[in-house]
Amino acid sequence: MTFKADLFAGKTALVTGGTTGIGAGIASTLAELGANVIAAGVQSKTHQLPAAHHITVQELDVRDNNAILNVINALPQLDLLINCAGIISREKEHQVDVFENVIDINLTGTLRCCSAARKKLAQSKGCIVNTASMLSFFGGGLVPGYSASKGGIMQLTKSLAIAYAAEGIRVNAVAPGWIATTLTQALQDDPLRAEPILSRTPLKRWGTPADVAKAVVFLCSPAASFITGTILPVDGGYLTA
């Protein structure tokens, strides 16, 4: 029943960072299951989404609180909020301004969206799925901003799960492992960097956006009705190896 064709029929989903990569995979999957999806991102003109009447592409910068409010307030209802907007700036994040920008998008941007959506989600008894990472659990010497933001997502998810529970809003997160997207293309293309990743991953492959999307569907579905505050790794076993 979790993946029945009309699972999200009549539901409205907002996916930030929903125009490329993992976010686009999630937006596409939710639309396939009947949701009316707003895929919001800064790359709205070069999106990676299929033509689908259930998907509306929307320009949105999650650093702009007024823009977030305008998008959410324009919706007649909101049932699902998926926060996927994020950036990584390898080897540059030791610079304070770069660090601050990564935190502002990845972590504070997630809070902005959750806060703006809270009232509508309370009305629909909806749910939120945030995007954590393997670097919610590990440090990353080249990406201190990204690592700090994803560690923050883990604790923000747990905190909001507690804060929003009385309103019937569930808050969870997925923690993707090594997923084949443009964000990891340089790693995929470099055998010296890809080999250690694959050798540590028990399932011996890169994940796909669809792998993450299926986990998001579960967390949004009635099958997860008593699950909140959890961080679900989608990593092929990387964390356990």
Q: Concatenated DSSP letters for the chain?
A: -TT-TTTTTT-EEEEETTTSHHHHHHHHHHHHTT-EEEEEETTGGG------TTEEEEE--TT-HHHHHHHHHT-S---EEEE------TTTTTSHHHHHHHHIIIIIHHHHHHHHHHHHHHHHT-EEEEE--GGGTS--TT-HHHHHHHHHHHHHHHHHHHHHGGGT-EEEEEEE-SB-SGGGHHHHH-HHHHHHHHHHSTT-S-B-HHHHHHHHHHHHSGGGTT--S-EEEESTTGGG-
Selected catalytic residue, list 8, 99, 146, 178? 146
- pTM metric for this prediction: 0.96
As a whole number, mean pLDDT of residues 64-69 equals 98
Residues 102, 96: Cα–Cα separation, whole Å? 10
Of the candidate ranges 40-44, 106-110, 134-138, 160-164, the one whose mean pLDDT is the lowest: 40-44
Of the candidate ranges 48-57, 102-111, 115-124, 232-241, the one whose mean pLDDT is the lowest: 48-57
pLDDT at position 1, please? Answer: 61
Residue 98 has pLDDT above 80, yes or no: yes
As a whole number, mean pLDDT of residues 144-163 equals 98
As a whole number, mean pLDDT of residues 161-177 equals 98
The verdict on whether 146 is a catalytic residue reads yes
pLDDT in tens, 122-144: 999 999 999 999 999 999 999 99
What domains lie within the chain, and their CATH numbers?
Answer: 12-240 (3.40.50.720)
Compute the mean pLDDT over every residue in the chain, rounded to the nearest whole number: 96
CB 95 within 8 A of CB 50: no
As a whole number, mean pLDDT of residues 49-74 equals 94
Q: Which has more confidence, 52 or 31?
A: 31
